[in-house]
Amino acid sequence: LFSCRLPILPVDVHVHRTSMRIGLIGKKVTPDAAHDLLQALLPQDARVIYNFHKGLLRLGQRVCVFDKPRCNKCVLTDLCDYYNTVVKPQSQQRPV
């Protein structure tokens, strides 16, 4: 798709996972539905879509990994639903 310079967003496992955690899509959204939802958020510009895909792909491969996300290495924590609802509250709890 990218080699043809088409403005189409592929949603692989990394893009799907990071989009859910960040809060761009709901937790129960399928990859097929995610494609339509994410595509609608972006301008129909092949370069923008490519950069969006590449950014989320790398984030999902290196930081927002499946098993144990490395939130301490993420630049999107201020915007991230997962960080702000799961990780941050846990780190603020103090032992009694």
pLDDT at 3: 61
Per-residue burial over 67-76, b if 16 or more Cβ lie within 10 Å, else e, is: eebebeebeb
Task: List domains and CATH numbers for the chain.
Answer: 13-92 (1.10.1670.10)
Q: What is the pTM of this model?
A: 0.88
- Model confidence pLDDT, tens digit, residues 29-70: 999 999 999 999 999 999 999 999 999 999 999 999 999 999
